[in-house]
Chains A and B, each alone.
Chain A
Amino acid sequence: MKASPPVILFALVVLMFTLALQLDTSFTVARRTEQPKDVMGAVFGEGRKLFAEQSFTMADVYFHSGYYPSVFDQGAQAQKEIITASHGQKETEEDEKKEDFMGRPRDWVDAFGRHFKITQHTHLEGHQEREILPWLRLSASLNPHKIDTYTVGAYFLWEHLNRPDQAEIFLREGLRNNPDSYEILFELGRLYRDVEHDADHACNLFELGIKKFQAASASQQKEDHVAGEKLVVNLAYLEEKIGNYESALKWFEVACALSPFPDEMRKEMALIREKQAAAKKVQ
């Protein structure tokens, strides 16, 4: 049987129309689930995460005043120092050595070229840390689900630039975009404890953070065990400070299972029991 061209054409049009309807339905469903909420999302799509990472790296480059390894240098994949700094880790001499990615000049071109490069490892200080903020803001706009952006931004705003109000606004924005983030809840809790001196509010935030941590998958809990430990230990100390000894003992008990120093936790528990006994005697 021989089909005439008009028939083939008609069949193809019908096929195209059917496929178009089918695809449109699938795309509509997909669009409903992952609808970009802002201009950045609409313009860059999923590619914005890549730009967000680059923007976050730029913040680290600025923090180092331009002394930074390129993708071709050793140490390019190392943990970003703005993250380690925000976790309260101080740089050791060993770390300094590791960050000397340039090493000795390889040849005369490299040696001469170093006159035109920044070759000294320094960090921004004296409120100059503000220069990293635009990059963190951009990173958060491009990828609102990158938790580090909010915690690092809040750390520098609060601890280096003395702007806890802005740190809280940034953290709240992060929490709106990532309601299950125990890291952001921890930072908010610290802010309420140390700046607002609102221990009850801080306790609630730490407790919510612990709940979110416990609700996370086992693999994530294993990976982020330090975050979980920090939440529990900080809550336990805060409860102790405000005199909720029972609650403090309960959280130190949990901390014993999480902390790499359970003996320290047990010592704290013994101290609390002593305080508890003394308080009962007074009553």
Chain B
Amino acid sequence: MNTTFALAGVVIKELYRRKDFYVLFVLSALLTLVSGAASFFHDRNIIGYIKDICLLLIWISALIIAVVTTARQIPAEREARTIFPLLAKPVSRWQLIVGKFLGCWLATGLALLVFYVFFAVLVGTRDGHWPLGIYLEAAWMQWLMLAIVIAMVLLGSIHFAAPSSTTTICVSVVVGILILGGHLRQLALLQPEPVQTLLSAVYFLMPHLEWYDLRDFVVYESGIVGGGPLLLASLYAAVWVAIFLILAWLGFRRKSLNT
């Protein structure tokens, strides 16, 4: 366990040494502040659009941080040949996979925390409301979604040729699921066979990342999500993470480490 956490610590240090997070945070904050400075019909109490823009930027930034950070972990170790001394420590390949996952997930969690604190302070100072319950739920659900994404990218980084291709493919898949995930069955039912069965199978077998998007609850102040569904969604995410990590380990176990 210590080995896994030691590996995770290295990844977290890497995140705050690199400029990705700072650039994305400053950009998101700047865009939000500029949009917040706009005045519409001299009404300073309008807040919904600022929440919308800020949350969208948080989602985009967090996704980029998670995917880019994860996609380069194992290829970079292989390219720099640091993977050999690492595995000779001894660190098992399973520990390496789990350590990298945990590091990326915790690092993304730290980034998310900073983003959501900025969001809460911005909205709270503007309209005087502090609905921390839904903010915590939204952040937790987004972090769970990112856990699935990170595990998926880790699996991709084992199989795809370069971090760039892993990043492109994984971002396309994630965005595709977020946009179409909930509607795939509707689309499937309109298709002729065998496309109908194929799309329906994809619908039931894919990770439903769209569940983890609680932005509407925050923007429209529609209360909070119950504890039961939240717990089940957390279990669902844990199962998908386990599936992706096991698949990544199975692929990595047989992989030649020479580049």
Contact = CB atoms under 8 A, between A and B. Distances in A.
B185 interface: yes
Contacts of A133: 40-41, 43, 46
Contacts of A88: none
B183 A116 contact: no
A254 B210 CA distance: 56
B186 A72 contact: yes
A49 interface: no
Contact of B46 (A72, A112, A130): A130
Contacts of B84: none
Interface of B: 38, 40-43, 45-49, 141, 182-183, 185-187, 203-204, 208, 210-214, 216-217, 219-220, 222, 225-226, 229, 232-233
A170 B41 contact: yes
Interface in A13-53: none
A131 interface: yes
B211 A112 contact: yes
Contact of B217 (A62, A106, A118, A135): A118
23 contacts: A65-B222, A72-B183, A72-B186, A73-B183, A107-B185, A110-B182, A110-B185, A113-B208, A113-B210, A113-B211, A116-B211, A116-B212, A116-B213, A116-B214, A116-B229, A120-B222, A131-B47, A133-B43, A133-B46, A134-B40, A134-B48, A137-B40, A161-B43
A230 B25 CA distance: 53
B233 A130 contact: no
Name the interface size band of chain A.
20 to 34
A70 interface: yes
A134 B49 contact: yes
A62 B232 CA distance: 29
A116 B225 contact: yes
B33 to A, nearest CB: 15
Contacts of A62: 48, 220
Interface in A146-193: 157, 161, 163, 166, 170
A-B pairs, top 3 by smallest CB distance, nearest first, are: A115-B229, A131-B48, A72-B183
A65 B220 contact: yes
B117 to A, nearest CB: 23
Interface string A107-133: 101101101111010000000001101
B40 A109 contact: no
Nearest to A68: B216
